Chains A and B, each alone.
Chain A
Amino acid sequence: MEVSVSDLRAIRAISYREVIRFLRAKSRIVSSIAVPLIWFCAFGFGLGSAFDVRYGSLGYAEFLAPGIVAMTVLFASTLSGISIIVDKEFGVIKELLIAPVSRVSLVIGKLIGGMLTSFLRAILITILFCVIIELHVGIWDFLGVLLVIALIAIGFGGFAIAIATKMESLEGYGFIVELIVMPIFFLSGAFFPIERLPSWLLTMVVFNPLTYGVDGLRLFMVGTSSFSLPSILTVLFVFDIVVVLLAAYLFERSGV
């Protein structure tokens, strides 16, 4: 597999298109902020104050905040899959398939576009958290947050594209994604610390890549984590590479 200059151009053009489309759909921007905020308020304040949950020196809202950022990115990533199916549905993808660029670069273009839109969402959310719960995130930590967001966005975006190559309709895709994404989200340590989980549950959590994403965000946002930074980054990098290769392979083979 070789990547040429024309592939890089295609990646740039395609990711740019994804960003334009995101910015043009005003309702998407609103919902991408509103939904995580609703979750955050309901659980962070509702649950947190009702049961007076604490994690070390952290209040429950602070503990939950990185989990909600991870959720935002995870949900946003599934849109990469929707974007592929919509492109198939409307034939847009054929215009890209007749271009003299590799199939991998089309997948990467979509992923980078998804990553950039995740950045926009996550920056807005993080700023809101800084205001609401007086979270102080320094500039270096914020760059760390962006790095972890990028790794989550690419990995789960690739995952979504891999599923989308197998799907013909949006309905079918929506069903499958809900079936897979919800457990990934709930079993990621976004809601609860993983240290005291029963071993059968812990096994599932440890094999869930999002767990490391949530942990990385927690490290950079509130300064505490269950795993060390090198192991977090290693797991996420390996996950991303495997998933992107898989997505590219399936995309190539599906011949869309």
Chain B
Amino acid sequence: MKKNIMDMNEHVIQTINLTKEYGELRAVDNVSLSIGRGEIFGLLGPNGAGKSTTIMMLTTLLKPSSGRAEICGYDVVKEPNKVRKSISVVFQDHTSDEWLTGWEYLRLHAGIYNSSEARIQELLILFNLKEWKDTPIKQYSSGMRRRLEIARGLVHHPEVLFLDEPTLGLDIQTRLKIWSYIESLSREEDVTIFLTTHYMEEADKLCDRIAIIDDGKIVAIGSSEELKSVLNSNLITVKVKNPGDMMQILSVLGMESEIQGNSIQIHTTNAGISEIYDVVRDMQNDVELFNVKKPTLDDVFIYYTGKEIRDEASEHRRHPLMRRGFI
């Protein structure tokens, strides 16, 4: 369930030409973004595209080489403490102290932010961790640990929650579960969520708007639907008794079609879909199959970056600098 109504006039996150250079390498290249209150915003890109570096800059852990960024109206370089008060970050790798119990861990952070124990109770219930609160984090599963870390991020009612690859390395059931928690907290906690991911489904299912980042540059931005409609190319498969008749009608309409096995395939624009549908409807009794394949986010990604996104999670885990979130 995505929210459609949000106050787009109020920009909780705003960046202008945000850039980070490491010597010759431009990890983040002139990124300009405006993110409204209550949005779930996704930064989608392959590893090394600059997602983590962007988060590090937005969360005051890294100084930009040039450009600016404001969170809730505060400059990340000039007013870091005010920014820190308004935000929270859940990092890519587990950062909870495994020697503590869940309760002690939340207590530690509630102590730092001056939050109440009632708030901890509330979060333990929201994230279904109440019965595990006195268990050492060492014994938690990956999914539980991730939930606990997201709960930690919320102890002080932040206005913006940054999630860096929140489901990296989790199995699919756990991933679905984390998604539902993220959706529910976006509804119940009135928090703007900025997440990075290299999972297409994650961006597609979860985010109100997606920015595709490649080599440090934003190459496309919009809702999943908007991004897909830009491609304006759909694949229609029709199976009829007399394919010859059908193809003739299509060629009269000026559409190219081809036979694939015993069905007809047509590449068409968004407007073309209804035209073909009309043809198919007239042939009603002869039609065995009619299928429209809309472009996926994968197609969009390939269209903009010229490459497929690969799951490099295992490779990624091994690089020590990456593990620490420096790249």
Q: Which residues of A contact B (CB under 8 A)?
A: 6, 9-10, 12-14, 16-17, 20-21, 24-25, 88, 90-92, 94-101, 255
Contacts and interface: CB of A to CB of B under 8 A. Distances in A.
B84 A99 contact: yes
B88 A98 contact: yes
Nearest to B158: A98
B308 interface: no
A20 B94 contact: no
A20 B137 CA distance: 14
A6 B111 CA distance: 9
Contacts, number: 77
A25 B114 CA distance: 28
7 contacts: A6-B112, A13-B108, A16-B111, A91-B324, A94-B325, A95-B89, A100-B85
A179 B112 CA distance: 36
B113 interface: yes
Given A17-B97, A20-B99, A91-B94, A97 B61 contact: yes
B91 A91 contact: yes
Contacts of B99: 20-21, 24-25
Contacts of A6: 112-114
B95 interface: yes
B152 interface: yes
Nearest to B95: A91
Instruction: Name which of B85, B99, B114 has the most chain A CB atoms within 10 A of its CB.
Output: B99
A80 to B, nearest CB: 16
Contacts of A17: 97, 100, 104, 108
A99 B156 CA distance: 10
Given A98-B60, A100-B84, A92 B114 contact: no
A90 B81 CA distance: 24
Q: Which 8 residue pairs of A and B lie closest in terms of their CB atoms, listed nearest first? A: A13-B111, A100-B84, A91-B95, A100-B85, A10-B112, A100-B81, A13-B112, A21-B99
A20 B89 contact: no
A97 B108 CA distance: 14
A9 B325 contact: no
Given A94-B89, A98-B89, A100-B85, A16 B108 contact: yes
B85 A94 contact: no
Contacts of B61: 94, 97-98, 255
Contacts of A100: 81-82, 84-85, 113
Interface string B247-269: 00000000000000000000000
Nearest to A99: B112
B325 A91 contact: yes
B91 A94 contact: yes
B100 A9 contact: no
B95 A90 contact: yes
A77 to B, nearest CB: 20
Contacts of B104: 17, 20
Contacts of B98: 90
Contacts of A94: 61, 89, 91, 95, 325
B152 A95 contact: yes
A98 B136 CA distance: 24
A68 B255 CA distance: 92
Contacts of B112: 6, 9-10, 13-14, 96, 99, 101
A97 B99 CA distance: 19
Instruction: Name which of B100, B109, B112, B324 has the most chain A CB atoms within 10 A of its CB.
Output: B112
Contacts of A92: 95-97
A12 B111 contact: yes
B28 interface: no
B87 A95 contact: no
Nearest to A102: B81
Contacts of B136: 24
Contacts of A99: 84, 109, 112-113
Contacts of B91: 91, 94-95
Contacts of B85: 100
A20 B100 CA distance: 8
Given A9-B114, A100-B85, A95 B100 contact: no
Contacts of A97: 61
A20 B136 CA distance: 12
Contacts of B109: 13, 95, 99
